[in-house]
Amino acid sequence: MGNKIVVPTPIAGVRLTYQGQDLKRIYIHEQFLPLLQQVLDRLRLRAGLVAIETLGIYNLRKARRSSRLSQHAYASAIDLAGFRVQHLPEPIRVDRDWTTRRPFFRLLEQECLRASAGHRYEYVTPDDDPDLHNDHIHWGIWPDD
Ligand SMILES: [Zn+2]
């Protein structure tokens, strides 16, 4: 199942929360960690990102509507549901703000795709899959091993 490691949070100065609670550590594939670090670091600098609400990173399961393993089974993907940024009283949420916060979500996609360069990746938004991804963005890579 690849090289899954445990790392403490925050990552690149950005907190990770699950159901509003700070995660103290995460399980993540060692090939995906530097990519996530890069995205969080750049979004912190460019958009004042202070925390992300995730729906999950590591989850040993099959992909939806498929028999193969999900990228989450390798801990090489993250489900992104919300983004707390400086100077905004409320987090930006995929389910509520997808159509009204286009510049932020364009920046997010730009950074995730930049970090994915050289990897086989998936980036799934509410536009791509309104049924299963209306409340989060899935970003992940297929590890090399
Ligand atoms: Zn996902």
Return the structure tokens found at 46.
């460019």
What's the 65 CA to ligand 1 centre distance in angstroms? 13
**Do the Cβ atoms of 142 and 29 come closer than 8 Å?**
no
Q: How far is the CA of 138 from the centre of ligand 1 (A)?
A: 4
CA of 87 to the centre of ligand 1 (A): 28
**Minimal CA–CA distance to 60: which of 76, 78, 74, 73?**
73
134 Cα to the center of ligand 1, angstroms: 12
- Structural domain containing residue 47: 4-142
Residues 6+ apart with CB under 8 A from 87: 48
Number of domains in the chain: 1
Cα 14 to ligand 1 centroid, rounded to whole Å = 20
Ligand 1 centroid to Cα of residue 112, in Å, is: 14
Residue 47 CA to ligand 1 centre (angstroms): 23
Asked if 27 contacts 1 with a C-beta cutoff of 8 angstroms, the reply is no
pTM of the predicted model as reported, rounded to 2 decimal places: 0.94
Per-residue pLDDT tens digits for 15-52: 999 999 999 999 999 999 999 999 999 999 999 999 99
Where residue 61 sits, what CATH number does that domain have? 3.30.1380
pLDDT tens per residue, range 57-95: 988 777 777 778 899 999 999 999 999 999 999 999 999
Q: What is Dmax (Cα atoms) for the chain?
A: 44
